[in-house]
Structure 1
Amino acid sequence: MLSLSNIDVAATLEKFKERGVPVGFLVPTETGLKKSIMDAHEGLRRFFLKQNLHDYDKQLKGTENKKEIRTLLIHQDKVLDTKTSLYRPNSKNGDPRVWVYNLKKFASSGDLIALCVFEDSLIAINCTRTDLRTLFDESNRLFCQWFPIKSKDISEDARELLEMLSDISARQFIPTMRRGDTGVGFTLESLLGIEANSSKAPDFRGIELKTSRARKQTNKQTTVFSQVPNWSMSNLKGSKDILDKHGRFNPQKERRQLFHEISCIKPNSYGLQLALQDNNDTLAQIYVPDPLNQNKKEKDVIWMMDKLVERVEEKHKETMWIAAETKGKGASEEFWYKSVTHTTGTDSAVLPILLESGAMTVHYLIRETPTGGAKDQGYLFKLAAKHLPTLFANITHYDLYP
């Protein structure tokens, strides 16, 4: 489990993203090191598949069908030429396994191991014990040979949009066209000639726009996508069931409601927590009635990881994340759109990592209707702005106005 890592997984992932190196992660346990075996979790399997290295779904069970891949194991300033085995045992439903030979000589329980693909080989890096800045430096000829620094191209539509945003930025502070939190996005889209709508389709010629106030960007979370649970596979069959079980009465609003953030790290004040299960194939929202008894858990709803990956890929094939400096409040608020982060492509293997590390959380926004029913405002998957680069394959930052 990546949550057992002795260093920050999300922060380490961001370093690989900044360098432009696709990566998957493993965290060996004490038992795994003794038995020379580790689970190939869903995120790692997806990474291998996307890198055209290995498809566990097509692999037959048994050691006779084991696949061995040449591996260069990096530990501090040392490089060891070894192998990694990928296989599915006859027992335990053939759950996918992975093992880097000689790993126990160079890693301890809890160390974060990065796996990168170079041609038909693996590069295994003990991130806990290796200075990644030195490893990624342009002066490191060997690493640059494996992963050259690439130039970034943008589409004509993206270039035109950047020019339009630069023109808007040159106007500096612009009065809001709508009061409240949504004013910053509504005003920009109005200036770009985009009509407000509830469609899930991208905003500008296939490019999604996400606008936020710069002063809140570092710590405030951004909604990346929304996805309802798989009700047919869940114990609770809808928002009404969730509200009935976990909602609490709000005397000011005179209604029951459930407005809460939920993460994989620990149960919130309502006893709700996320958990990656079935080798990361599913994400569950569980209920822990007694904080002192973590063994007693109730599974409320689940999401299939494939569906979550599909949703984020659909939503953010190409996105411009615009930051605006603000002044004033309410109807007198003004925006100066000053910078853009342009992202293209998503890294599907990263989603389970962000969830398990607590960098991405789920937000319930459910309230009781006057007739006693339940109304939800979406099941929102949110990510802090500082972690956004980790989710995408390519990212470029632009200052719109000097």
Structure 2
Amino acid sequence: MSAPKNLNEFIERFKNIKELGWIETHRNGRTGVGKTLEDLLGIEENNIDGPDFANYELKAMRTNGGDTQLLTLLTKSPLPNGGNAKLLETYGYISDVYEHKNKVLHSTLSAGHFAQVADTGKSLSIDCSNNKIAIIDNDGKSFAYWTEEILQKAFYKKYPYSMIHVYADSKIGEPKEEFYYHTAYELSEFSFEKLLVQLKEGKVKVDIRIGQYPNGKTHDHGTGFRIQDRALTEIFLNKKILVGSD
């Protein structure tokens, strides 16, 4: 079975999945709710930026049970060119996790709160002002940022049309977790202003994952904007129900 070719085909398939009732997870852990739905829809798993089917990105979440999860919205290296190298040079540290003993910079950043960077004595945070999202340190210095324009382009490249947001009830079955997929929404028109609000409220975070190749060259493992699953609808202007809950 191949992925749905359009929105109408997705709706019909999702209705059929809903009629199946409780379905045992295809993967243990937090990603099981999305992986199981993708399998049922014939969507192949991949790590390529782009829509899951037709022009739609698919996100699934548990409506009950378990903690709020962070979903990756997109990955985008900050400006200016060379910003990652400057961040690594200034705030990086040696990690025993990697055999080459080169510098890394791994940190999850929030707006309005400074996160300690390993044992470097330095802290980083996110500043939202002047239509720009910047990484700042506890001395007020900033070496990297994203503009509204660059994030709008990155977002619409990853989500060229709209997003499908699916809700599933969860229960602990025997021997695995089970899901009941019951509701699907279409989300459209990403809003940078709404993203800023969610950043300031702590519902969106920025994951910094910078390292070095053995030759010392800087490598961005995927600087990502991540959002609480329950806040996903809050960064779009439009929300349309496709299949409703009982």
**What TM-score, normalized to structure 1?**
0.50
Larger helix proportion, structure 1 or 2?
Answer: 1
Indicate which of 227, 231, 234 corresponds to 1:390.
234
Structure 1 residue 393 displacement after superposition: 2.0
Deviations 1:86-138 (A, max 9, x none): xxxxxxxxxxxxxxxxxxxxxxxxxxxxxxxxxxxxxxxxxxxxxxxxxxxxx
CA distance in 2, matches of 1:215, 1:375: 38
Aligned match for 1:362, one of 194, 197, 206: 206
Return closer, same or farther for 1:306/1:159 CA change in 2, 3 Å cut-off. same
In 2, the alpha carbon distance for the partners of 1:335 and 1:370 equals 44
* 2:133 pairs with 1:283: yes
Deviation at 1:157, TM superposition (A): 3.5
Aligned to 1:337: 181
Structure 2: runs of 5 or more not aligned: 118-122
Higher relative contact order (CA 8 A, sep 6+): 2
Give the secondary structure class of the aligned counterpart of 2:115.
coil
DSSP 3-state at the match of 2:233: helix
Distance 1:169 1:367 in 2: 43
Letter in 2 for 1:390: E
Aligned-residue offset at 1:258: 4.4
1:266 aligns with 113
Partners of 2:114 and 2:89 in 1: CA distance: 17
Structure 1 runs not aligned, ≥5 long: 1-155, 289-295
How far off is 1:381 after superposition?
A: 0.9
Structure 1 contact 287–297 (Cα < 8 Å) conserved: yes
Structure 2 distance, partners of 1:301, 1:250, is 26
CA distance in 2, matches of 1:364, 1:263: 11
Q: Hey, what's the Cα distance between the residues in 1 that align with 2:212 and 2:81?
A: 22
Residues in 1 aligned to 2:224 and 2:16: alpha-carbon distance in whole angstroms: 33
Q: Report how far residue 308 of structure 1 moved.
A: 0.7
RMSD value over aligned CA atoms? 3.4
Is 1:219–1:384's contact at 8 Å kept on the other side of the alignment? yes
Structure with greater proportional strand content: 2
Q: Is the 8 A contact 2:11 2:243 kept in 1?
A: no
CA radius of gyration, larger in: 1
2-structure distance, mates of 1:169, 1:215 = 17
- Aligned residue number for residue 77 of structure 2: 228
Tell me whether 1:299 sits opposite 2:145 in the alignment.
Answer: no
Amino acid corresponding to residue 224 of structure 1 in structure 2: L
Q: Name the CA shift for 1:167/1:379 in 2 (closer, same or farther; >3 Å).
A: same
Deviations 1:296-337 (A, max 9, x none): 2221322222111222233333111112233348x8333322
Count, aligned residues: 234
Query: What corresponds to 2:120 in structure 1?
Result: none
